[in-house]
Amino acid sequence: MEVGIALNIILSLWIIPTYLGKKRKIGFTWSLVACVFLTPILGVIITLLSPKLPEYKKESIRKRKELKSINNRFKEELLNYENKLDDLKDLKDKGILTQDEFNQKSAKLKADKTKKEVEQTAEYKKLKDLYDDGILTKEEFESKTKNLFQKFKNINNIKVNLYGQWLSEDMVYLFNMDNSFKFYPKNTKESIYKSGHWKIIDKNTIIVNYNKRSVLKIKEITENKLVYLYENKKHILQKIN
């Protein structure tokens, strides 16, 4: 009896976690937990079912490379859209395209670009999975994605207007395309600044993170003017570039 108990303890606390668990994804700790709270037999089965660590690492590396490749292709596609828009503008400026033709073609390109961006979002992928699994009907899927496209379009419009430098009574604010921002007193050098990050939640809300999380409620935003509420106080910024 005592020998059996001792053998179980040795297997659970040392042999299985050390010689099997450490070499697998489950690791020493969880292998130990399985052996102690279940039985050494179940513990060794669970441990052996876990993928070997080198194989797990290789799979993780492969997935990261695959994701990086997808992201790079996506960035290239977006850049291609921007280049095409520049080409259209150049042709319009040279009189080869009329204003109506430019508006029509650029609107199509922007719509295609927005569609591509939306299809990369987690929300769209979840909806697509539910549709593919038959949980959402075609009508439900199309309705949900239409709402998602509109939401994304609204946010994109705000982003386009928000990029650049803004001036208040005493401060200069710079919103960058990488979602970083900086601000400094307008009578000082730009090199003396404080920085943070910003994110658009919806068409009415901007989150700014600098020391603390600040919520800006948008009341109006155009190419040259931004009006928002912060802590129930109204602020007006004018774009300076």
| Both tokens assigned to 32 | 């130990």
Q: Is residue 145's pLDDT more than 70?
A: yes
Confidence of residue 143 (pLDDT cuts 50, 70, 90): very high
The predicted-structure confidence for 32-54, as pLDDT tens digits, reads as follows 777 777 777 777 777 777 776 66
Question: Hey, where are the domains in the chain?
Answer: 2-50, 67-158, 163-239
Lowest-confidence pick of 11-20, 84-93, 218-227: 11-20
Using CA atoms, how far apart are residues 43 and 159, in angstroms rounded to an integer?
Answer: 53
Which amino acid makes up residue 238?
A: Q
Using CA atoms, how far apart are residues 45 and 55, in angstroms rounded to an integer?
Answer: 18
Selected from 2.40.50.140, 3.90.1150.10, 1.20.1050.10, 2.40.128.370, the CATH number assigned to the domain covering 163-239 reads: 2.40.128.370
The predicted-structure confidence for 189-238, as pLDDT tens digits, reads as follows 655 567 888 888 877 888 888 777 888 888 888 888 989 898 888 989 99
Residue with tokens 């200069």: 172
Residue 182 is predicted with a pLDDT of 85
The predicted-structure confidence for 91-137, as pLDDT tens digits, reads as follows 888 888 888 888 888 888 878 877 887 888 888 889 999 989 899 89
Using CA atoms, how far apart are residues 203 and 11, in angstroms rounded to an integer?
Answer: 60
Quote the pTM value. Answer: 0.48
Using CA atoms, how far apart are residues 35 and 11, in angstroms rounded to an integer?
Answer: 8
The torsion angle over the Cα atoms of residues 108, 111, 115 and 118, rounded to 10 degrees, is 160
Q: CA distances (Å), 6 to each of 42, 44, 181, in order? A: 17, 17, 63
Residue with the bigger pLDDT between 18 and 96: it is: 96
Cβ contact 105:97 at 8 Å: yes
